[in-house]
Each structure stands twice: as C-alpha cells, then as structure tokens.
C-alpha cells in the first residue's frame, strides 16, 4: 500500500476509534494536531513527515481517560493496523514510542527525543492552549462535572475547577515547547489565555477589581 493510502486507512481508524471521546479529544483534535505538526516540521525542516503524520493521527487513540474497562487493546490494534497496511516495523516502533511518552501527565521522557516526538508533542501542546485550549478545557471540565471556578471562600469544597487547570498546566506549556517554531506560536496563544483569565476575574468579582493575587505570568 502506498503512503497516501496508508494515511487514508489510518484516518478512518482514528475517526472511528474516537467517536466516544469528549469533543476536545475527538477527530478534530487529531486533525488540528496533524496540521500543526506538519506545519512545524516544514519550518524546522527536521523529522520524517510520514512518521509525524501517523503519530499525530494516532496519539490519543489509546488515551486512558477514555479507555473502557476491559478495552485496553488499542496499542495492539494500532500495531496490527499498521503492519496490515505494510508499515515497516521500525516506523511502527517509533509511532508507538511517541504515543507512549506524549502525554503531559507522563513524567517520563524517552531516552533520546526524536525530532518526530518533539514535533508531535509540541503540536499536541499547542492545541491545549489559546482559544481552542480554553474551549477544550471547559469542555473537558464539563465532561468531568468539575466546577468552572472555585474562589478562595469556597476552597473547602475541594472540588476540581477548570480555572485551576490553567495554573496547573495550561499556563506552563509555553515554556515547555521543544521547537522554536512552536515556542513562537505559543506566545500568542498564551497571551489569549491571560487576557481571557483577566476578563474572567473582572466579571466574576464585578464590580470590585479582583484583589487577590492572580499570577498571570
Ligand atoms: P495529554 O493528552 O497531554 O495527557 P490531557 O489529555 O491531560 O493531556 O489534556 C488534553 C486536554 O484536556 C487539554 O486541552 C486539557 O486542557 C484538557 N484537560 C485535561 N485535564 C483537565 C482538567 N482537569 N480540567 C480541564 N481540562 C482538562
Ligand atoms: Ni492530544
């Protein structure tokens, strides 16, 4: 099978494998990550575009947040799919390695970060920030029935909030990019999130000016 036909098969698989995921992890997330990753590859001029495209399309298919009990076979399904369509073993191994380490929640890194890994990870992280990142965060928070925001007075509730997720993850991502292209793209997306948070606090505490320290670095 030629590379274009392989990509078509993988697209079909990725679409059908993510139908039950929240809208922040659906096909359109995979499509945006693929576009971002290929854009970064083009400017950085590093890494193999075929591996990057496969890994971008498959990177969330095995996400533990959506895996049903007893349905842990996505890794095997990906291996079978790629070898059935004739992808070389070396490429399958690289795609698996990228999928294994890409998650923000995984503290491990592969021993040697390949350009393909760095680029797909940057693309995934870029899609978690900016306007799309804001939309995805609130969508995910709703999916988990988290609070939008838990103000100081309410902290005893101990309920997770989506605003807190900005401080725990989203505002940190701009300094975690692997490539210069992604670091530059992240700056504008970071600014959009800061502006959003400032407006959020202005409206939440209206008519007072928010007086607690909001660290929007
Ligand atoms: P990764 O795929 O790198 O492990 P996640 O799956 O944790 O990253 O995050 C993917 C998306 O889900 C991001 O847009 C992220 O903001 C959102 N998300 C994850 N955890 C939360 C949370 N607790 N509250 C709001 N959004 C979240
Ligand atoms: Ni992702």
Whether the CB of 137 sits within 6 Å of ligand 1: yes
Least-confidence region, from 11-15, 106-110, 191-195, 206-210 = 106-110
* Smallest-distance ligand from the CA of 139: 1
pLDDT at 175 over 50: yes
Q: Report the share of the chain in percent with pLDDT over 70.
A: 86
Beta bridge partners of 147: 161
Which residues contact residue 55 at a Cβ distance below 8 angstroms, ignoring those fewer than 6 apart?
37, 94, 95, 98, 99, 102, 116, 117, 120
pLDDT at 163 over 90: yes
pLDDT at 12 over 60: yes
pLDDT digits (tens, 9 = 90+) for 51-102: 999 999 999 987 656 555 555 556 678 889 999 999 999 999 999 999 988 8
* Smallest-distance ligand from the CA of 128: 1
Tell me what pLDDT residue 213 has.
47
Q: Report the share of the chain in percent with pLDDT over 90.
A: 70
Of residues 70 and 138, more confidence is placed in 138
- Nearest Cα neighbor of 14 from 49, 47, 42, 53 is 53
CATH number for region 1-103 = 1.10.472.50
* Smallest-distance ligand from the CA of 61: 2
Whether the CB of 141 sits within 6 Å of ligand 1: yes
Whether the CB of 130 sits within 6 Å of ligand 1: no
Least-confidence region, from 95-99, 116-120, 127-131, 207-211 = 207-211
Whether the CB of 128 sits within 6 Å of ligand 1: yes
Task: Tell me the best of 61, 134, 140, 166 to mutate to test the pocket of ligand 1, counting ligand atoms within 8 Å of each CB and taking the most.
Answer: 140
Whether the CB of 165 sits within 6 Å of ligand 1: yes
21 pLDDT band, cuts 50/70/90, is: confident
Nearest-atom index, ligand 1, CA of 136: 14
pLDDT at 108 over 60: yes
- The arithmetic mean of pLDDT across residues 4-22, rounded, is 93
pTM of the shown model: 0.92
Nearest-atom index, ligand 1, CA of 59: 2
Positive or negative: CA dihedral 105, 66, 140, 124: positive
Alpha helices in the chain (DSSP H): 3-17, 27-44, 49-58, 74-84, 89-101, 115-126, 130-143, 162-168, 180-204
8 pLDDT band, cuts 50/70/90, is: very high
- Enumerate the domain spans of the chain: 1-103, 128-217
Tell me what pLDDT residue 62 has.
75
Copy the structure tokens of residue 172.
């940190």
Whether the CB of 47 sits within 6 Å of ligand 1: no
- Dihedral angle over CA of 161, 162, 167, 170, nearest 10: 160
CATH number for region 128-217 = 1.20.58.1910
Of residues 96 and 107, more confidence is placed in 96
Ligand 1, atom 23, residue with closest C-alpha: 165
pLDDT at 211 over 70: no
Distance from first CA to last CA of the chain, Å, rounded? 49
Asked if 32 contacts 132 with a C-beta cutoff of 8 angstroms, the reply is yes
pLDDT at 217 over 80: no
Whether the CB of 103 sits within 6 Å of ligand 1: yes
Backbone angles phi, psi at 147, to 5 degrees: -75, 155
* Smallest-distance ligand from the CA of 57: 2
């Amino acid at each position: 099978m030629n590379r274009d036909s392989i990509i078509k098969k993988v697209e079909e698989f990725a679409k059908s494998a993510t139908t039950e995921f929240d809208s922040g992890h659906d096909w359109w997330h995979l499509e945006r990550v693929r576009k971002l990753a290929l854009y970064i590859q083009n400017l950085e001029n590093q890494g193999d575009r075929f591996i990057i495209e496969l890994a971008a399309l498959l990177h969330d298919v095995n996400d533990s947040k959506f895996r049903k009990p007893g349905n842990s076979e996505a890794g095997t399904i990906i291996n079978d799919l790629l070898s059935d369509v004739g992808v070389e073993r070396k490429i399958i191994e690289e795609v698996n390695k990228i999928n294994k380490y890409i998650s923000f929640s995984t503290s491990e890194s592969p021993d040697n970060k390949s350009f393909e890994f760095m680029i797909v990870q940057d693309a995934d992280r870029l899609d978690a920030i900016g306007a799309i990142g804001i939309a995805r965060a609130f969508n995910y928070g709703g999916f988990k029935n988290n609070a939008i925001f838990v103000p100081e007075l309410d902290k005893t509730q101990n309920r997770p909030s989506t605003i807190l997720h900005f401080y725990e993850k989203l505002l940190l991502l701009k300094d975690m990019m692997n490539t210069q292209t992604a670091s530059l793209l992240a700056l504008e997306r970071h600014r959009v999130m800061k502006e959003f948070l400032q407006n959020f606090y202005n409206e939440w505490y209206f008519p007072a000016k928010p007086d607690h320290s909001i660290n929007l670095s």
